[in-house]
Amino acid sequence: MVTTTAIPLIIHGKDVLLSNNDRKHPISSTSAPHLKSFQGATPDLAIQAVESCASAFPTWSQTPPEERRRLLLNFAKLLREKSSTIQTLIKDEIHCTPLWSHVNVETAAGIVEETASVITDAMSGTIPSSQGNSYALVMKKPLGVVLGIAPWNAPVILGLRSVIPVIAAGNVAIFKGSELSPQTHYFLAALFREAGFPPGVVNFVLHRPQDAAEIYECMIQHPAVKKCNFTGSTQVGRVIASKAAMALKPVLLELGGKNPVVVLEDADLDQAADEIVTAGYLNNGQICMSTDLVYVVRSVAEELTKKILERLHSEDRPHKVISTASRARLTQLVDDARSKGAVIHQARNPLAEDPQAFPATVIEEVTEEMEFYTIESFGPVFGIIAVDSAEKGLQMVKRSAYGLSSAVFTRDHFKALGMSAEIAVGAVHVNGGTVHDEPTLPHGGVGDSGYGRFGGKWGLDEFLQTQTVILNRVRASL
């Protein structure tokens, strides 16, 4: 735990705080009232973090996979042992439920363990056939320094996902934490020290919001940084990608989604309603995979809507979003929909007087003219659209610029597979909610939802490069 009044950076295994108040950013912590701020990086500190990583890379990249696996499993063990402390930090910073804090730690531990288990296989090369009297060897090699930019909304899962596959593959990582979850991200970064990772393998950087462009640019332009991964909004992702492109650096982007559900006439409507409500409101709807739009065949639309509203009003839903700005944005989306003919249903919210509270909301009779139809809500809101047929719903889904997660509810699995083949999306969940991920599976999107994949062996492949070596025979001397 942090004992100073400010959360430090971690560079080459040591906590870093500037002696003055330069770049300090205020925070408010109920779990650690002594904490008043976090240390934001200066360009010099950001470059120090990069160069520390670069100095650690030659040794770490040659560390046997078995040793990297041992350290990762040690980290996972510590993560589980300290679960209670970590969950307290998460709930303090992002106002989530105990369920979401528990899911964060358990899923993250699973990600670390699964990544450790696939290191050797992911690093394996091949010996394809070659011409004449030569042999071709295709080997996999780590890249070098990788910048991982993590969001706040699933701070343990997404924080560790930004660095675990990176270091498992033999790279070194800059863990750029979120200003909205600095305690949680610092705790995770410090855990790498406790687990026995050498200094410089994972360095930890924070920055003030107003310094984001400056700090990112000085790191992505540094010759030692070879790749960046970013999880966050599509708007920011475009900036991340464009700045990286100017430096000829590749990126992995997992961005926003307008995650659709299509409900067919033969669906189990109770199952569909349960999954839609859960995926729409988990973590206050602040998940990249949260359900946003439900396309339901008209013949069962009334019944499904009734079941959804029963669940909406069956319990108090104390939803509190991350900021007053987020609440204002959600209010604007709902007000715009109402002004254009939508029917708004909202649950009772015991936190109604809180400036960050926003009630669980269902928008009925959504149309394409409404802002909500195309803008990711990222809050406890989803809309319902009645369509004449499954084909019509599918056509509307296919017009979306996003492509992260989706769901289809039907008893006809072959029809669901056929629909899945037509949707340009990273994942299709048949008779399941849009919020679903597993450590063994690839995760990512297409279109405005980004490109590249986290997860399992696919996640390690993102941070490896191939090298071809051709072995030719020495010509016999005359």
Helix axes 413-422, 390-398, angle to 10 degrees: 30
Spot the catalytic one: 254, 275, 376, 462.
254
* Neighbouring residues of 145: CB distance < 8 A, sequence distance ≥ 6: 50, 53, 54, 57, 171, 172, 173, 174, 222, 224, 225, 226
Dihedral, 238, 239, 242, 248 alpha carbons, nearest 10: -120
Grouping H, G, I as helix, E, B as strand and the rest as coil, residue 137 is strand
* Neighbouring residues of 358: CB distance < 8 A, sequence distance ≥ 6: 284, 319, 320, 321, 326, 327, 330, 331, 349, 379, 380, 381
Question: In residues, how long is the chain?
Answer: 478
- Bridge partners, residue 357, by sequence: 320
* Neighbouring residues of 290: CB distance < 8 A, sequence distance ≥ 6: 257, 259, 279, 280, 282, 283, 377, 378, 382, 434, 435
Q: Locate 404 and state its tokens.
A: 């992260």
Listed in order, strand segments (DSSP E) in 324-446 are 343-346, 361-364, 381-387, 405-409, 427-430
Listing DSSP states for 161-198 in one string gives HTTHHHHHTT-EEEEE--TTSHHHHHHHHHHHHHHTPP
* Neighbouring residues of 256: CB distance < 8 A, sequence distance ≥ 6: 233, 234, 288, 376, 378, 402, 404, 448, 449
Task: For residues 320 and 81, give the distance between their C-alpha atoms in angstroms, rounded to a whole number.
Answer: 29
Cα separations (Å) of 60 from 65, 198, 250, 391?
10, 8, 22, 53
Active site residue 369: no
Q: In which order are the strands placed within the sheet that holds 172-176?
A: 14-16, 9-11, 202-205, 172-176, 145-149, 225-231, 251-254, 450-451
CA of residue 423 relative to chain centroid, distance: 21
Cα separations (Å) of 352 from 93, 98, 282?
19, 20, 18
Q: Name residue 402's amino acid.
A: Y
Catalytically annotated residues: 254
